[in-house]
Amino acid sequence: MHHRTVERLAAGDSPIHRLDPRVKLVSVLVFVICVSLLPKSPMFFYLAPAGLVIAILALARLPLGFVFSRTLLVLPFVGLVALFLPFTRGPTELFHLEGLGLSVYAEGLELAAAILAKGVLAILAVESLVFTTRFHRLLLAMRWLRVPRAVVAILGFLFRYLDLLSNESLRVQRARRARTPGRTRRLRGRSTGGMVGRLLLRTLGRAERIHRAMVARGFDGEIRTL
């Protein structure tokens, strides 16, 4: 997802956009903590926070299709955590998979469903924050909350140079395609390691040059704005 799309959404005008970033950041943190403390059953406990998040997204006039599609990109990482729980948490066995020698337990299914629900709600809450707050204002809110300045600086530079990293990656991929026209996927797969290595070396070299330039301009680790 291109960060310019995020900035374009964050530049919108709605009651949620106009809220103080510190209020939104603290509210999201409280929401995520409360959701994480919900019991695994019954599942109707999750209806209220789900309705709250959807109402906020609608009030912010965010495109729900876009928001949910971004959620699906992150969901596999949450699903990986819950993948094995139905086979390991007992004792109530629902059925047995003879071919695999595994049993599926009711408690494991409940816990997996709860983890997925909590993960989706947390992701949607974070998206409601990021898609309604300009990133530089979000960084200032983090500093106000005494987040270590090194963390804030790293996030700021990461967001600032996503374009550059993406363009470097595209140039390396084009160079690989030019050097291996018509080659098999196996040969291209073998060259992937070298491509990643070259991209890493380019990134480190550019980062070193940027750091020297910023130190020469008096940068001491603190992001200052007017």
Measured CA to CA, the distance from residue 155 to residue 23 in angstroms comes to: 20
Residue 52 lies in a domain: yes
- Which of 118, 144, 170 is where one domain is finished? 144
15: preceding bond cis by omega (within 30 degrees): no
DSSP state, residue 132: T
Q: Contact 12/124 with Cβ under 8 angstroms? A: no
Range of 173's domain?
Answer: 161-216
In degrees rounded to 5, what are phi and psi of residue 187? -65, -40
Q: Contact 132/24 with Cβ under 8 angstroms? A: yes
Indicate whether 206 and 112 sit together in one domain. Answer: no
pLDDT of the residue at 176: 72
When divided into structural domains, the chain yields a total of 2
Which of these ranges, 73-77, 192-196, 214-218, has the smallest mean pLDDT? 192-196
Indicate whether 140 and 186 sit together in one domain. Answer: no
DSSP state, residue 36: H
What number of H helices and E strands is found in the chain? 10, 2
In degrees rounded to 5, what are phi and psi of residue 44? -70, -10
Residue 156 lies in a domain: no
Q: Contact 174/188 with Cβ under 8 angstroms? A: no
Residue 110 lies in a domain: yes
Residue 223 lies in a domain: no
Rg of the chain taking only CA atoms, in angstroms: 23
Residue 151 lies in a domain: no
Indicate whether 111 and 68 sit together in one domain. Answer: yes
**Average pLDDT of the residues in 194-211:** 78
Indicate whether 99 and 132 sit together in one domain. Answer: yes
Measured CA to CA, the distance from residue 208 to residue 171 in angstroms comes to: 20
pLDDT band at 190 (very low <50, low <70, confident <90, very high): low
Indicate whether 166 and 119 sit together in one domain. Answer: no
Indicate whether 70 and 118 sit together in one domain. Answer: yes
pLDDT per residue as tens digits for the range 96-123? 666 666 777 777 788 888 888 898 999 9
**Average pLDDT of the residues in 70-92:** 77
Residue 183 lies in a domain: yes
Indicate whether 129 and 168 sit together in one domain. Answer: no
Residue 225 lies in a domain: no
pLDDT band at 154 (very low <50, low <70, confident <90, very high): confident
**Average pLDDT of the residues in 198-207:** 78
Indicate whether 26 and 110 sit together in one domain. Answer: yes
pLDDT of the residue at 200: 78
Indicate whether 114 and 191 sit together in one domain. Answer: no
- Which of 144, 170, 188 is where one domain is finished? 144
Indicate whether 67 and 106 sit together in one domain. Answer: yes
Confidence check: pLDDT of 95 > 70: no
Residue 226 lies in a domain: no
In degrees rounded to 5, what are phi and psi of residue 125? -65, -45
With CA atoms as reference, report the closest residue to 117 among 63, 50, 33: 50
- Which of 88, 118, 144 is where one domain is finished? 144
Residue 187: count other Cβ atoms within 10 Å of its Cβ. Answer: 10
Q: Is the pTM of this model over 0.95?
A: no
